[in-house]
Structure 1
Amino acid sequence: MSESEHRMIEILRILAKQENPIGSKLIADELKEKGFNLGERAVRYHMQILDEKGYTEKKGYSGRVITNLGREKLEKGLIYDQVDFIYSKFEEMIYLTDFTYMSQKGNVVVNTSTIYNEESINIMKEIFESGLCVSPYVHLNEDKTTGKIEVTTLCGTTIDGILLNEGIASQPQYGGLLKIENYQPVKFTEIISYKKTSVSPLDAFSNSNLTSVLDVITKGSGIIPANFRLIPSIARERTIEIINKLDKIGIGGVIGISEEGKDLLGLPVPDGMVGIAIIGGMTPFCAIKELGEKIDIKIAEEIRDFKTLSPITTTIKSPLNTQTVEKQSKLPFLLSKSWNLIQQVNFDVEKQKGNIITNVSYLNKENLDEALEIMENTYNDNPKYINPYYTLVKHPEDENKIGIATICSLSIDGILINNGIMSNPKYSGLLELTEPPLFIDMISYNGTTVDPHKIFLSKNMTSITGDGPNKILASVKEIPYISRDYAVHLLEILNTIGFSIYKIGKPRELVYNSKVDNYNFGVITGGGLNSIGAIKEKGIDIEVKAIEKLIPFEKMERL
């Protein structure tokens, strides 16, 4: 992205936060705070370009507003910028937190979500009373006309901001899912790094199929959202002192604090550092989702004065034993697990035989014929983007279920490596089939324990069979430029065979809006779960699995 493009995106971000038109002076002032030294004249020049593109609109002498087209551009136009922006947004929220626990005054970071009936308020109050929250301090704003209720709650990022104000560098690392057994935290089961993702990690896991907050409340065991951060070990005692003081005024949620360099809940802690786990501020909202209630969740969206919040309840239990289980096995990252499968791919391009990596998803046998028909129709409707290969696999335990194995795109990395070409899986994403196609969300393979495509499917973000621009699963691979000629030759053969190769990029080229490192080129491949996503979209219950096992290609059937 050029410097000029970067400036214009920042201008759009500033306008997107405003309810009323603002002028070039205010924009220039905000840009300066973000490190862009632009005068009013330069801002007016950039604004003129944005007007011409239809991203902004002038409102008389009042200034400019962002248009719907501008918001669309901001959301999905520069996805390679968004994967860096998520982390920088949290850094910005941390810096803007100026809450002082001694005076209980100042700004805090909040999550603002929308619920659609008053009964959810009563449910939410019970959840806060259970203690599975960062704080009982909330703000309710009911729209009498629509019946919608905005619920603002304290975000755990506030604690990072408080620590920073005390001179303690708290570094957010991961958001994920934490397993609880008998009211005791056991280990993280899935995580996503805050860096190199366009989807906020906890937002990625805010799905009723992934959490079981209510089970923790009622039975003592289940899965809750949680965050993990690091602080310098020398600040450990001071941090514990601050956390204890925060807890007394109603700001808590700390699940565990490690010793120096000691793993915490299955996550590694480097020497000289200390790990801290904190309940996700969205946990009460996840519980409402689990009850089937409609709710729109936004995470760490804004800064709010603490005095605008008040306790929703004064009765807070302490449900968890914060003495965490020690010596848990380390949580393996997706890429580490994947490399061992990639290494075993031995598909022969000329003979079209050999092992490939497959995804295996399970459904009831009674739904198999309908599922295969959906897969076939989806392929026929869009053969360029849907992989036609599959095979059936027995369920390891349930004879009433059967698995559908589809080709995983990591097979392509294995095939290239087996032919002497280094291929690095870089991003897994959601590709919108506009002209040209554009990635609208991406999560890096390096820094997640769960296949991002499973996340997109669990949150119903795809539109593989719907009307309008389709949103399908795709991946970005990074290959050294020196091997480009031979790689292109092999990729073209694989595409002819039926492997989903969407686009082969050039050095320093943005390929479908994705970016790879210098001296490399990008390759966009189709997700092996697209046909499975089509089945899910049609309402058939199917257990989505990714990167499951090796299967000989010659055993695959073609739709």
Structure 2
Amino acid sequence: MPDLDRKLIEILEILANSKEPVGAKVIARELNKKGYKIGERAVRYHLKILDSLGLTKKLGYSGRIITEKGLEELEKANISYRLGSIYSNILEKTISSNYRFGYVVINRAKIYADFDVAVETIRKVFSAGLVVGNRVGLIDRGNYSEILTLCSLNFDNILLQNGIMPIHICGGIVKFEDNQPVEFKEIIEYKSTSIDPLLAFLEKKETDVLGVIENGEGYVPANFRVIAKEYLPKFEEILKLEDLKCVISYGEENVLGLDIGNDYIGIALIGGLTPIAPFIEMGYYYEIVPMSSIVRLESLTKFKKENREIINKKSKIRIKNSLSKMLNLITKVDFDIDEDVGNVIANVGYTDKKYYNDVLELLKEAYKKNLGIGDRLKVVEEKDKLKIYTICALTLDGIFINNSIPILPKYGGVIECLEDKKRFINIIGYSGSSLDPHEIFFNMVDCETTFLAGFRETHRISREKLDFVLKKLKWNGVLDIGEPNNELYGINVGKDMFGIVYLGGINPLSWLNEHEIPIEIKAMKEVVRYEELIDYREL
């Protein structure tokens, strides 16, 4: 099945957001609102295409519904288009809600925990003041508890209604010490990701909200905005009157480690998904839909909340993005493609020594399946742990640059490889994340049809030199090379540039993870000598 174009994706979104079958007339009207000048006849033509692909189903004269296959495709299709979907949804919900008149944006979660446990856990989060507002929806669904939490976008709506334009920057995790926010530990910019930043951090289990509740130390989901500096007096007046009480820090120049320059005020807000984090930390199964819908505020239940002190002191910490870390690490690579010696960048995985035999056999399997960069790695014992080194794809960047090929790392993500199609289904831009994207997506691949991968681009004039280096290198790792000015695996390139898809160097460790070997990973962790690594066949 070919990747869907934008109109087809928009039609699927319209159907997915409707609880009833939708006809061509309504779809045409909604598409015109989105800027697609298309009539009913053309819509019917597109619907037939979607029907033939099994993505939609016609229900007589009532209209179409989206199928399960359609919902799955909507989450994967056209990655370049979806890259802006998170930011677009933020703006749409901010504008569409109306906190003043009681229409609020909510996050929706299914938590597979007893209802009494759900209520008591939510009560603890409210008592610690780690929520947006003082209302929540709690519904006993029998085999699960449904929880509706207020989204921090409601605060943005308050700002907008008071003539202040908030600029949405990123979502992240804030470190707390002595019950106060200290710094952002990690961030992902909204415009640089196809996955909701806070959801990504929750799924990676980066939070420790329970730690903050119990002893004042831990990690809390948070969002970050900036406003023009001239708005500061009006903003501080709003803080005195608004009742969401979700601002944890604000200030000039640097807020919790994020540099904002001299013309803005930075604002850190408690993430609306924070009340859900403790359930994930306790190991409960969950399903989460961030920014799910707009509901009446009065439909939610009031809970007693302890308001927190707002911290507005400057931070000495500065958060660096992955790209800057990568570009600095690349300078350490001095591998000689003629002599097969030199420094390479390694990812590191740690697991318990009791898995030694299983680890060796699984690593051999992984490299036989061409999941690694090159064919060398290293396994050493450190006390009760095994330390596993795999070559990082960043090494390829260093080798190319040392051979006068200017390679620019763009995205890390997940590729889906089927018989008729290879494509990225999730990506995060290196310049918009402080954490290596492959650490975020580590648990989202099976190394059978989905794999960790990276996307680079370089100028078309470099192609001949690139082919020469790859021929001499003879390493596994480069999956595909595109044509100038053409997309590759669904990702667009700049003018006169061509794309290169790398296999992620962490994939052998993902293979261990898929076979239930508990493993802790650190991407781009160390510089090692290539000659100290061994061929996987000799493990």
TM-score after normalising by structure 1: 0.91
The offset of 1:509, in angstroms, is 2.7
3-state SS of 2:99 partner: coil
1:42 aligns to what? 42
1:224 and 1:485 map into 2 onto residues whose CA distance is 49
The one-letter code of the counterpart of 1:359 is: N
Please list the CA deviations of residues 256-297 of structure 1 after superposition, one character each: whole Å capped at 9, or x if unmatched: 1113xx210000112211100001111111012112222222
CA contact (8 A) 1:178 1:187 kept: yes
CA contact (8 A) 1:185 1:324 kept: no
Q: Which residue, 340, 351, 354 being the options, matches 2:342?
A: 354
1:131 and 1:72 map into 2 onto residues whose CA distance is 37
* RMSD (CA atoms): 2.1
2:392 aligns to what? 408
CA contact (8 A) 2:140 2:146 kept: yes
The offset of 1:411, in angstroms, is 0.8
2:137 and 2:58 map into 1 onto residues whose CA distance is 34
1:150 aligns to what? 146
Q: 1:356 to 1:234 in 2, by over 3 A?
A: same
The offset of 1:378, in angstroms, is 2.5
1:322 and 1:402 map into 2 onto residues whose CA distance is 44
Q: Which residue, 104, 108, 116 being the options, matches 1:112?
A: 108
3-state SS of 1:377 partner: helix
The offset of 1:44, in angstroms, is 2.5
CA contact (8 A) 1:342 1:414 kept: yes
Matched, 1:462 2:455: no
3-state SS of 1:293 partner: coil
1:256 aligns to what? 249
The one-letter code of the counterpart of 1:343 is: T
2:408 aligns to what? 424
The offset of 1:208, in angstroms, is 7.0
1:286 and 1:549 map into 2 onto residues whose CA distance is 31
Please list the CA deviations of residues 54-77 of structure 1 after superposition, one character each: whole Å capped at 9, or x if unmatched: 322221111111122322322112
3-state SS of 1:271 partner: strand
1:71 aligns to what? 71
1:506 and 1:489 map into 2 onto residues whose CA distance is 17
2:56 aligns to what? 56
3-state SS of 1:216 partner: helix
The offset of 1:384, in angstroms, is 6.2
1:327 and 1:162 map into 2 onto residues whose CA distance is 27
The one-letter code of the counterpart of 1:14 is: I
CA contact (8 A) 1:129 1:317 kept: yes
Q: 1:386 to 1:374 in 2, by over 3 A?
A: farther
1:477 aligns to what? 456
2:205 aligns to what? 209
The offset of 1:240, in angstroms, is 2.2
The one-letter code of the counterpart of 2:198 is: L
Kindly report which structure 2 residues correspond to 1:9-24, keeping only aligned pairs within 5 A, or say none: 9-24=9-24
CA contact (8 A) 1:387 1:531 kept: no
Kindly report which structure 2 residues correspond to 1:192-231, keeping only aligned pairs within 5 A, or say none: 192-207=188-203, 209-231=205-227
CA contact (8 A) 2:438 2:452 kept: yes
Greater share of residues in strand: 2
The offset of 1:324, in angstroms, is 4.5
3-state SS of 2:41 partner: helix
The one-letter code of the counterpart of 2:353 is: K
3-state SS of 2:410 partner: strand
2:248 and 2:15 map into 1 onto residues whose CA distance is 38
CA contact (8 A) 1:187 1:328 kept: no
Q: 1:451 to 1:35 in 2, by over 3 A?
A: same
Q: 1:29 to 1:456 in 2, by over 3 A?
A: same
CA contact (8 A) 1:365 1:400 kept: yes
The one-letter code of the counterpart of 1:446 is: S
CA contact (8 A) 2:223 2:271 kept: yes
1:153 and 1:244 map into 2 onto residues whose CA distance is 23
Matched, 1:523 2:519: no
2:513 aligns to what? 536
Q: Which residue, 304, 307, 321 being the options, matches 1:333?
A: 321
The offset of 1:78, in angstroms, is 0.9
- Counting matched residue pairs gives 532
Please list the CA deviations of residues 384-435 of structure 1 after superposition, one character each: whole Å capped at 9, or x if unmatched: 667532123575xxx3334211111111111111111110111101122212
CA contact (8 A) 1:379 1:388 kept: yes
TM-score after normalising by structure 2: 0.94
The one-letter code of the counterpart of 2:250 is: I
2:438 and 2:390 map into 1 onto residues whose CA distance is 14
Q: 1:428 to 1:208 in 2, by over 3 A?
A: closer
Structure 1 window deviating more from structure 2 (320-329 vs 445-454): it is: 320-329
2:461 and 2:305 map into 1 onto residues whose CA distance is 62
The one-letter code of the counterpart of 2:238 is: I
1:15 and 1:29 map into 2 onto residues whose CA distance is 13
1:505 aligns to what? 482
Identity %: 38
1:388 aligns to what? 375
CA contact (8 A) 1:185 1:322 kept: no
Please list the CA deviations of residues 139-190 of structure 1 after superposition, one character each: whole Å capped at 9, or x if unmatched: 233334xx22321110001111221222211011111110110011110011
Point out where structure 2 has 5 or more consecutive residues left out of the alignment.
none
Structure 1 window deviating more from structure 2 (41-50 vs 113-122): it is: 41-50
Q: Which residue, 270, 273, 279 being the options, matches 1:279?
A: 270
3-state SS of 1:547 partner: strand
CA contact (8 A) 1:387 1:526 kept: no
Structure 1 window deviating more from structure 2 (43-52 vs 326-335): it is: 43-52
1:213 and 1:324 map into 2 onto residues whose CA distance is 21
Point out where structure 1 has 5 or more consecutive residues left out of the alignment.
none
Q: Which residue, 531, 535, 538 being the options, matches 1:558?
A: 535
The offset of 1:15, in angstroms, is 0.8
1:390 and 1:433 map into 2 onto residues whose CA distance is 25
